[in-house]
Structure 1
Amino acid sequence: MTINVKKCPACGSKDTVPILYGEPALAYPNEENEKFKLGGCFALVDGPEFYCKHCENQWNREEAIEREYEKVSRLKASVGGFFGDSYTIDIQLDRFQLSWNQRNEDGETEIRKSIRRKTADNLKAELKRLDLLNWKAKYVEPGVLDGTHWRVEIHQGDRKIIKHGDNRFPKEWPEFCKLMRRISGKKFS
Structure 2
Amino acid sequence: MTSRVTLITPATNPSLRQARFDDGATSLDNTGALHARAAAGSLPSAARLVTSPSARCRETAAALGLAVKASGAGPAGLDAGRWRGRALDEVGRAEPEALGEWLADPSSAPHGGESVKELCERVARWLDAVAQSDGRTLAVVEPDVVRAAVVHVLGAPLASFWRADVLPLTATELSGRAGRWNVRLGHPLRPQES
- Structure with higher strand content: 1
TM-score, structure 1 normalization: 0.23
Question: Is the radius of gyration larger for structure 1 or structure 2?
Answer: 1
TM-score, structure 2 normalization: 0.23
Quick one: higher RCO (CA 8 Å, sep 6+), 1 or 2?
2
